[in-house]
Amino acid sequence: MKRVISLLITLTLVFALAGCWAGEVSVDTTFEKDGSGTRTIVLAVMDDTLSTTPITNPDDPDGTEGKGAVINNQHITGGIAAIYTWLDDNAPTWMTVEAMTTEGVTRYFELSYTFTSFEDFLAKYEELVDLSPSAAWADYTADELPTFECEGLFTNACTFNESIDLVNASLDWAVDGIWTDIYDESTLAGYVTKADISVLSSYKVTLGGKVVEEVSAFDPDAVDGEGTGKVLYPTGPTWEVVGEFPNTTAYVITAVIAVVVVAGGVLVVIKKK
């Protein structure tokens, strides 16, 4: 009897979790040599109302392990499209919230913002982190914060560093808000927490033509419970990208100095004559 009860509990857990697939978040950032740039955040959520057949579980693409189809729509009050309304109502005023788009069985929600300098990037980063009820910018040491440094004369080598912990902290205002305000966990109570409803699936930084990128991928050999095969997501823990920019100012100054030196030499020769 105990084995039967244990089996029933296990099956209940499997079917409960099989119904919900986390929203996948991608973060794409581009920096210029002066520290200005753009950051784009995209949340992708599979919507079962867009399909006439069950949506295949990404952790079981062959459908051989019985992990169940993806069922997301019923877990958002008002349906998946309600995520756009929440984001539009709650995002900072300096952030652009694009209209929801749809491709296949996936809804996409895009947020983006620009920054005029690295200092502006940090200021907006700090605001996002402090919007989270469970994180605070002040909790991080100087060594844990993002950095952007450039050095070199004729070529500026610029280095950017960032941690996955801070990236996730800067997204928590949205994750927590959606979880608190519009997520319906009634059919998943006890099995799903805020941490289960979203995951960082793609991270990309472009700097001086150099790109650092880490993206999710299905690994058929990864252990998943008693079976194998699951989607593996970026783990960081930190990312560093080094890009190079020509320092045109240094070239101009050097050219001016060269002209002055040559002109001075010519003047000396003329005077001697």
Beta-carbon neighbour count of residue 204 at 10 Å? 18
82: tokens are 């309600």
Q: What are the distances in angstroms from CA 273 to CA 183, 193, 236, 259, 265?
A: 89, 89, 70, 21, 13
Summarize pLDDT for 217-262 with one digit per residue, the tens.
999 999 988 788 999 999 999 999 999 988 654 444 443 444 444 4
Question: For residues 182 and 45, what is the distance between their CA atoms, to the nearest angstrom?
Answer: 14
pLDDT value at 128 more than 70:
yes
How many domains, the chain?
A: 1
Domain that holds residue 21: 2-272
And the tokens for 222? 């990864």
Q: What's the rounded Cα separation, in Å, for the pair 178 and 160?
A: 31
Average pLDDT along the chain: 86
pLDDT tens, residue by residue, 33-56: 999 999 999 999 999 999 999 999
Cα 217 to Cα 230: distance, rounded to the nearest angstrom: 8
How far is 62 from 82, CA to CA, in rounded Å? 31
Report whether 101 contacts 110 (CB < 8 A). yes
